[in-house]
Structure 1
Amino acid sequence: MNDLTLQKARAYEAEHGAAITPAERPAYHMTPYVGWLNDPNGFSYYKGKYHQFYQYNPYDVRWAPMHWGHAVSSDLLHWEYLPCALAPDSPVDNGPGCFSGSATEMDDGRQLLMYTSVVAEKQPNGEMRDIQTQSIAIGDGLDYEKPACNPVLTQKDLPEGFSRFDFRDPKIWREADGTYSAVTVCLTEDGSGAAALFQSADGFDWHFVTVLERCNNQYGKMWECPDFFPLDGKQVLMLGPMEMLPKGEFHNGHNVIAFIGSYDKATHTFTKENVQLMDGGIDFYATQTTLAPDGRRIMTAWLQTWSDTEDKPQGCKWFGQTICPRELHIKDGRILQTPVRELDAVHGKRTFHENVTVQSETSLEGIKGRVADLTV
């Protein structure tokens, strides 16, 4: 491991991130400390705070070899930046870097990160291709070490015919018996995605269990950023299909969809009953959920998609942000989303107007400032 890569990133962000004033950032959307952000990673509650890692290039406002940025919050609204958590500094991730992943807590109190490690390899035909495997890192909420056993999952752990070029985005969680489970996405023989379940007794030694669901070229092509969790008596498999064609509520390009159904833990069988779009907007991707201490299922996402990442202000110091986190519930077979209730605590005085015709020059008494929560 080359610690210099991580130390270089930490030194750069400490200097340049600290120079960005709060007035240059949104008020309650989390942004990168400096540089580029895409997928939220490792969204978790650990040691009394919410931890939000993210795909990160501190050096520029465009995608480049991926690091993991890191921030913590007590209320999901105000974020404190911590030093860069992961850098592309080990033999299995020293090319394109440390791609998306997740986090959970171990029995000894340490935090376990699981992420996709990517390295470029020359193929028999001479072509360079990115090889995707799954790796882990273990730390105390500030500093993380990558063990020598990495990668912990490779193409050898997948069913025959699955691709080693598209095998990524592990979402890890603890089972009731203390064992570890993770769902990843992978590309199958028919050229479309699948969600695969893996398990481990200790978080280090992993094995394939089953394919939870296949795309069968019905919902886009390759899938990304899976999540698998119980919600109000149902089981949800949430993921991001790429290359969707517009049909019904699904729009063109990158979507986030949720399969809602039931799950037999004894046989590891997921049975979908309904499918829905998670957000009608095009700037919404790479969702990840966590369980709050009070039992709420809370979701974050990247407030962007790949189709418009070149549309950025000239001279900007950061690019990319996450949504205001949302609480999830199921009603009448569909997932409902509401802004986290922590927003209620930051509301100011309520101002009410009625029977007003709003025109371009309209000024309403009591409504001013940088941030307003409007109900119209």
Structure 2
Amino acid sequence: MNGVLASEKLIKAREYENRKQKEIPQGQKPAFHVSAPIGWINDPNGFSLYKGEYHLFYQYHPYSTNWGPMHWGHSKTDDFIKWDQLPAAIAPDEEYDQQGCFSGSAVEHEGRHILMYTGVQDKVLEDGTKVSRQTQCIAAGDGYNYEKLSCNPVIQSWQLPEGSSAVDFRDPKIWKEGEVFYAVVGSRHEDNSGQIALFSSKDLKEWEFVSILERCNNQYGLMWECPDFFLLDGKYVLLTSPQEMRSEGLEFHNGNGTMYLIGNYDREQQDFSREGVGSIDYGLDFYAPQTVLTEDGRRVMIGWMQSWDNHMVPQGFEWSGMMTIPRELTIKNGRLCQNPVREIENYYQNPVTYKDIIADKPLELKGIRGRELDMTIDVEAGYYGCFRINLAHSEKYSTSICYDLSKNTLTFDRNYSGLKRDVIYQRSMYVKNQDGKIRIRILMDKYSVEVFVNDGEQAMTSIIHTPIESDRIVFGGEGNVKFHVTKNDVVVN
């Protein structure tokens, strides 16, 4: 263990995952997306650059396909497409994290890989009341083994301003500026709504409260989870995942959502002022995104491709949960834009292109089918009712993406994808009115469908558990819809 003494819980988890993941049928998992080694994964954690490689951790319960006591699973890559599975990194093996090692982040410092996470502990107060407490903790390691600091927890709820919750205080995102470390942490105000707290430290051990960076004021959901804060294209961006959202048109949906806030940051006052707010992803399965700054200066984001309200595991699967494709972020016209990392192009094979196709009836194009692909469709401006793409199509199954010109909406519908539970199957979003012109990029990896509209101005992420044999793609339209399409298979050996 390279000088680090692993706990019994961590050894058990590592032995279990090593044994059980070998039993998963060959080819069942996605080809170029991070997925659960075995059991359950949710929020991405510790997305970071360490010694020239990109590491990703995630909330992990190896022993079942349901959420359970949280460990940290671990993967790494050098190009965001081909991932290596590493052993579990940390387990809930201390008094302060006995109920789970919840979400967090990571940073490189003096040759060490620093993990910052939320420890959850159940306590019994003097009057016999049972309470849960969430604190922020640190583990340091070498990219493989990690040791928790003896001074943990390093940030506790009593350091928050008066009126803040001692129960909902989690998901630290750490970064370093000069000689100072900073961390934003999700918190809850006494009015029951979310707030983002900012802390600083010079040595990772002693932390001070700096300010409340932003507050929800009961405007966007309640508790704000999984914050991230960074500079992008001259503006500061705050990402968060609000709980208990209420629908606002087609911009935000009920339940657990995601949101970006774009604005300015006053360093002297440690104050963030928002200028724009929007949904990060409009699909059925996207939550808890986290970013990393690459060596070449790109801001890359990854998210959990699942929904708390739509937990779906196909019968016989012993793993549940996957991550999105890592996405390059930019700001364009005040919106957060996202596109798959450019490295995916290194895995293209079997290119097929068609120009000036008229979709006035259902049609299939030779060479355009499959479940591991990157496809871009350019629809020309014109007068028509709608344009439809049916994916993972067969006589029995189909998943549709429909652009309705009259409503300026794009709708994803998985009602006939093979679902066996009464879960949410459809979601729509408004798109820019360009007199019928629209660019739709679709990334598929067996059970995932990621849609990027108009060069990343909007994204829709959803999963389907359609049998792999259903791999036809059918285009259609109401009226004379002219479009062009380019498809590349994505092949990762």
- Name the TM-score, length of structure 1 as normaliser: 0.95
Matches within 5 A, 1:184-199: 184-199=185-200
Look at both structures and tell me which one has the larger radius of gyration over its CA atoms: 2
**Distance change >3 Å, CA 80–CA 273, structure 1 → 2:** same
**Paired residue for 1:71?**
75
Between the aligned partners of 1:134 and 1:27, the Cα distance in structure 2 is 34
* 2:126 is aligned with 1:98: no
Quick one: which amino acid aligns to residue 49 of structure 1? E
Quick one: which amino acid aligns to residue 112 of structure 1? I
Matches within 5 A, 1:1-376: 3-95=7-99, 97-106=100-109, 108-123=110-125, 126-175=128-177, 177-248=178-249, 249-309=251-311, 311-354=312-355, 355=357, 364-376=365-377
Deviation at 1:123? 4.2
Deviation at 1:121? 1.4
**Distance change >3 Å, CA 358–CA 135, structure 1 → 2:** farther
Deviation at 1:61? 0.4
**Distance change >3 Å, CA 154–CA 308, structure 1 → 2:** same
Between the aligned partners of 2:333 and 2:10, the Cα distance in structure 1 is 48
Moved more, 241-250 or 80-89: 241-250
Share of identical aligned residues, percent? Answer: 50
**Equivalent position SS for 1:51:** strand
Quick one: which amino acid aligns to residue 54 of structure 2? Y
Between the aligned partners of 1:178 and 1:331, the Cα distance in structure 2 is 32
Deviation at 1:322? 0.5
Deviation at 1:370? 4.1
**Distance change >3 Å, CA 109–CA 263, structure 1 → 2:** same
Question: Deviation string for 1:132-164 (max 9, x for gaps)?
Answer: 000000000000000110000111111111111
Quick one: which amino acid aligns to residue 144 of structure 1? Y
Moved more, 22-31 or 83-92: 22-31
**Paired residue for 2:473?**
none
Deviation at 1:359? 7.5
Between the aligned partners of 2:257 and 2:32, the Cα distance in structure 1 is 24
**Distance change >3 Å, CA 127–CA 62, structure 1 → 2:** farther
**Distance change >3 Å, CA 350–CA 356, structure 1 → 2:** farther
Structure 2, unmatched stretches of 5+, are: 378-493
Deviation at 1:343? 1.1
**Equivalent position SS for 1:243:** coil
Between the aligned partners of 1:192 and 1:283, the Cα distance in structure 2 is 23
Deviation at 1:20? 2.3
Quick one: which amino acid aligns to residue 279 of structure 2? L
**Distance change >3 Å, CA 105–CA 371, structure 1 → 2:** same
Structure 1, unmatched stretches of 5+, are: none
Give the count of matched residue pairs: 371
Work out whether residues 2 and 90 of structure 1, in 8 Å CA contact, stay in contact via their aligned partners in 2: no
Between the aligned partners of 1:40 and 1:99, the Cα distance in structure 2 is 11
Question: Deviation string for 1:315-372 (max 9, x for gaps)?
Answer: 2110011001111001111111111111111111321234365977x65332355412
Between the aligned partners of 2:314 and 2:191, the Cα distance in structure 1 is 40
Work out whether residues 43 and 288 of structure 1, in 8 Å CA contact, stay in contact via their aligned partners in 2: yes
Question: Deviation string for 1:276-334 (max 9, x for gaps)?
Answer: 1101113110010000100000000001121012x221221100110011110011111
Between the aligned partners of 1:222 and 1:357, the Cα distance in structure 2 is 46
Quick one: which amino acid aligns to residue 322 of structure 2? Q
Quick one: which amino acid aligns to residue 181 of structure 1? Y
Work out whether residues 92 and 117 of structure 1, in 8 Å CA contact, stay in contact via their aligned partners in 2: yes
Deviation at 1:375? 2.0
Between the aligned partners of 1:127 and 1:315, the Cα distance in structure 2 is 41
Moved more, 156-165 or 288-297: 156-165
